[in-house]
Structure 1
Amino acid sequence: MNRAPGLSVRLKLTLSYAGFLMVAGALLLAAVWLFLLRYVPEVIHLPTAADRPGRVPGVFVPNRSDLERAFVPKAAAALAFLLVFGLVGGWLLAGRMLAPLTRITQATRLAANGSLSHRIQLEGSDDEFRELADAFDAMLARLEAHVAEQQRFAANASHELRTPLAITQTLLEVARSDRHRDTGELVERLHFVNTRAIELTEALLLLSRADQRSFTREHVDLSLVAEEAAETLLPLAEKRGITIETSGEVTPALGSPALLLQMTTNLLHNAIVHNRREHGTVWLTTSRHPQSVALTVENTGDTLTSQAVSTLAEPFQRGTARIRADHTGVGLGLAIVKSIVHAHDGTLTLTPRPAGGLSVTVRLPAAPPPADR
């Protein structure tokens, strides 16, 4: 943006300090002048020898004119000194006060040029500049983490999208070189690869929508959402020999019904897929707290470490070493859940179960009572 040149903040503060000092000095001198004028008449009448017997006549007593000739030059010199002192002192004080702002400006320019690892780390006591510098450092840390996450996501998404395209190209080249090959098998494999690519694309779009928070918040009961998700995935659970147990109370929240249903479905799908091969169990529970509501999904399964669990919510991470079995998904299930939870101002907690499996808790702000809505 093109703007007209103006005075610097340091110069403005210097002029302000000097101006205030000049005004204060002028008021002080005016007060002294008025105080002196109260006791000095304009014309002095000296007493004669007859009026004052025993005194020497002709004693000099200054009048107002004499006072003006003696006071005004000294007052002007004092004001000139205050002006010089105010300008020099104000310039030094303004420079000292604005030094933290200069460091913040330099850090801002570095961040604008792409250097997000720089931190201000302002020393000194807790004041307004320190608070601003700490807030800026925290913002830089969040931006750096977000950019790094986006770069990893872009790299993983490019890799995941390239894989089905490369497989499709290979299948087509094989079909073109071997025209007598059975086309039924080729069409079936192409259909499977294309379906995976569509699922991945839809997951990426859903993830982007959750990150942008482009949805209308409505009143949602998480217990009903949990029941709907359980009914939807019940055939998959029965096919794998998994038992789904649902329990809980009414849990009112504010958010997108579609996104919250997608969140619950993803959690339940992961709990079913990453479970025991037979006789596994999934517990789906909802609970209500004073200021929040919670949705908990637990499942039996292999024993997981805390380090492995901490990476499960990253995009394209799978709990079974990135296998390509049926119904394993595209590796965005928990990443989508994490984005949906954050878009609803909630928290996502993943904890390994001591007996094996995973416990996932989603905590969202509770919806206000009907009288407040």
Structure 2
Amino acid sequence: MTAVRAVRPLPWPRTVRMRLAVLYGGLFLLSGTVLLAIPNLFVGSTSTIRAPGTAAAAPHPPGYGPSLAETQHGRDMRQYVTGSAVALVALVALSVALGWLLSGRLLRPLRTITAAAGEMSAAGLGRRLAIRSSGDEFTQLGQTLDDLFARLEASFQAQRHFVANASHELRTPLAAERTLLQVVLADPGADAAALREACEQALLLGARQARLMEALFALATGERGVRQWEDVDLAEVAAEVLARHGEEAAGLDVEVAAGLGPAPVRGDRGLADLLLDNLVGNALRHNHPGGHVRVRTGGSPGGGGHVEVANSGTVVPPEEVDRLFEPFQRLGTARTGAHRHGHGLGLAIVRAATTAHGAALTLTPHPGGGLTVRVDFPPGPAAKAR
């Protein structure tokens, strides 16, 4: 059995520039060959053509060779073919050289893009290609890559900001626990009551860490996207969420009113529950004693369904609305009840779950304080198609 030998690559670099140059030369060779062949065909057939009314040429007498005119004609034809072939070869070589130069000039923006993209890294995404605006495909490619680099830079900055904030939020209770235990252990007169109080405070700090880990897990779940589409009624999910938060609302002295109309959508029930749980939880915790929370669900005019949560509370400046959707961003430090140590992840989780469903999120601040958050889910078939 004979072994299959691998095909060796061509000895010259198979670049786009080389291919274009060879293509130019090949096309010129083909067209030149056709142009030279056409006159040769006509010249070769002139001996069979005579004008009307003229006598046919007499045949050569036996024993006599071709005439002087025919000999001269054959010599001229050989010189013509030889000269044409030499000129064609020279012109093909010239066309390849000119094609090499022209293709190099045309591909110069591509080399600029390749070099700039190769020099970029996660730490240096601020550089832009800045290709001259000539309206060709390379300019469009450069603009597309500049937009991509801008999005990547914003994503890396957001990631670094998120990691820094998460590290700070996790490090703060750990440092507090360590300090608390060190102070108690360094006190030689600490009795059982002091130790008990220190343990209770350590448990509270541990509970804060647990809430942060749960919030981070919920955020990761929302950003993961919908795993399996199913029929979900937002009214049923909202009723379950309100039942879970009933005791919390009573403890915070916040009145909760619900208007739950049918809102059938296609989505992930777990993510929908996560979205509504954070909306209602935020509405309760960012409130004041004697305040109110209104939860409504229903169908949307264009199909699908919507959920709307409105609450009283602190006045939110319109320019601060977009910032509230970023992780670890808080409008203020005031919180009601035992939840004053919020981590600022509630609306970030809501936005992640909303994006996963392809829904529209709208946040409207009230002049007198509080917010109205509305999430419009797309129609069932459109959501299913995603």
Q: Please classify the TM superposition score into its range, dividing by the shorter chain length.
A: 0.7 to 0.9
Take 2:121 and 2:371, find their aligned partners in 1: how far apart are those partners? 42
1:248 and 1:287 in contact (8 A); partners too: no
Deviation at 1:322, TM superposition (A): 6.7
Counterpart in the other structure of 1:54 = none
Counterpart in the other structure of 1:25 = 32
Q: TM-score, normalised by structure 1?
A: 0.85
Identify which of 178, 191, 198 aligns with 1:180. 191
Counterpart in the other structure of 2:21 = 14
Take 2:237 and 2:330, find their aligned partners in 1: how far apart are those partners? 25
- What is the identity, as a one-letter code, of the residue corresponding to 1:247? G
Counterpart in the other structure of 1:357 = 370
Q: Which moved more, 1:218-227 or 1:62-71?
A: 62-71
Q: Which moved more, 1:281-290 or 1:131-140?
A: 281-290
Identify which of 359, 364, 368 aligns with 2:381. 368
Aligned length: 362
Indicate yes or no: 2:82 matched with 1:70: no
Would the alpha carbon gap of residues 371 and 241 (structure 1) be closer, same or farther in structure 2, given more than 3 Å must change?
closer
Root-mean-square deviation (Å): 3.2
Deviation at 1:159, TM superposition (A): 0.3
- What is the identity, as a one-letter code, of the residue corresponding to 1:140? F
The percentage of aligned residue pairs carrying the same residue is 34
- Equivalent residues in 2 for 1:111-126, closer than 5 Å: 111-112=120-121, 114-126=123-135
Indicate yes or no: 2:116 matched with 1:103: no
Counterpart in the other structure of 1:38 = 45
Counterpart in the other structure of 2:320 = 308
Deviation at 1:270, TM superposition (A): 0.8
Would the alpha carbon gap of residues 113 and 165 (structure 1) be closer, same or farther in structure 2, given more than 3 Å must change?
closer
2:22 and 2:96 in contact (8 A); partners too: yes
SS at match of 2:257: strand
1:250 and 1:288 in contact (8 A); partners too: no
- Equivalent residues in 2 for 1:262-277, closer than 5 Å: 262-277=274-289
Q: Which moved more, 1:145-154 or 1:232-241?
A: 232-241
Take 2:47 and 2:75, find their aligned partners in 1: how far apart are those partners? 10
SS at match of 2:196: helix
Deviation at 1:158, TM superposition (A): 0.5
- What is the identity, as a one-letter code, of the residue corresponding to 1:360? V
2:306 and 2:374 in contact (8 A); partners too: yes
Would the alpha carbon gap of residues 361 and 370 (structure 1) be closer, same or farther in structure 2, given more than 3 Å must change?
closer
Counterpart in the other structure of 1:53 = none
Counterpart in the other structure of 1:93 = 102
- Equivalent residues in 2 for 1:232-271, closer than 5 Å: 232-247=244-259, 249-271=261-283
Identify which of 225, 244, 254 aligns with 1:213. 225
Counterpart in the other structure of 1:55 = none
Cα offsets for 1:126-170 (capped at 9, x unmatched): 443333222222211111111000100000000000011011111
Q: Which moved more, 1:217-226 or 1:285-294?
A: 285-294
Stretches of structure 1 that go unaligned for 5 or more consecutive residues are 49-57
Identify which of 306, 311, 334 aligns with 1:294. 306
Identify which of 215, 224, 241 aligns with 1:203. 215
- What is the identity, as a one-letter code, of the residue corresponding to 1:143? L
- What is the identity, as a one-letter code, of the residue corresponding to 1:29? L
Deviation at 1:262, TM superposition (A): 0.9
Counterpart in the other structure of 2:151 = 142
SS at match of 2:343: coil
1:223 and 1:249 in contact (8 A); partners too: yes
1:272 and 1:282 in contact (8 A); partners too: no
- What is the identity, as a one-letter code, of the residue corresponding to 1:175? V
Q: TM-score, normalised by structure 2?
A: 0.83
Cα offsets for 1:97-133 (capped at 9, x unmatched): 2122112212321334632112223333444333322
